[in-house]
Amino acid sequence: MFSSRMHFSRRSLGIAGALSIAAALPAVAAAGEAFAATHTPLTDSRKKEIAMELVSSAENSSLDWKAQYTYIEDIGDGRGYTAGIIGFCSGTGDMLDLVELYTKNKPGNVLAKYLPALRKVNGSDSHAGLGSAFVSAWHTAAKDSVFRSAQDSERDRVYFTPAVSQAIADGLWALGQFCYYDAIVMHGPGNDKLSFGGIRKTAMGKAKTPAQGGNQTTYLNAFLDARKAAMKAEAAHDDTSRVDTEQRVFLKAGNLDLNTPLKWKTYGDSYTIS
């Protein structure tokens, strides 16, 4: 279960933003290959595991992100139920997409009958047609490897792959890729001021990306500044320690490749990946 201090929730899903980034993936493929030859990207299995653990430390007060497949609750942020490894929300569309994928892969599953209700509550905080029976069904589904695989797939499709691909195109190493990923997870892949695209645009107005000839540390400081401003604009995100005592710590240490060992704090708790 997520910590009571958890600040996980996106402003909006912003699928259009995610698709616009995804459309650019072929254009950055060659750049990604050249990048990987000199710096290990976040797509590397070990680096990706580190990224999942870092996010989980902030969202779950635990490094055990795989324990969150079964998680579901309404955290009172106006987005209905928040659930699973990446905080899929019944009010923002990504939970609906997830259950649709699960049902495509396994027709007749325990969540399939809730699809009509999920379509109706999308865009609201309503529990209509869901409630305790849906929560119980989610817990049951989380025991199914097909459902867990669907959660992994949707996490990567909507959040991880677009964020990392954009970071590589911007010339960022593993730390910068993680900064982008953590931002898109919390704020969504849209283009408004408080979504990932808007945060990136604000940062680029202050500093050039490495791909534009800028300094990587300077740009990442500008990005984290913009990220903090976006977080403070929403009450659910006003604790910025995941930036201040996690990402900024790695940046100040010059650990642009996000190499272990890593030591940091989120919401006052200390963590280590050795």
Active site residues: 59, 77
**Alpha-helical regions (H) of the chain:** 15-23, 25-38, 45-60, 94-105, 115-121, 131-141, 145-155, 161-169, 174-187, 196-204, 216-232, 241-242, 248-252
Contacts of 159 (CB under 8 A, 6+ apart): 18, 86, 181, 184, 185, 189
Contacts of 51 (CB under 8 A, 6+ apart): 42, 160, 177, 178, 181
Amino acid identity at 114? Y
| C-alpha atoms less than 13 angstroms from C-alpha of 171 in its C-beta half-sphere | 14
187 vs 181: CA distance, rounded Å = 10
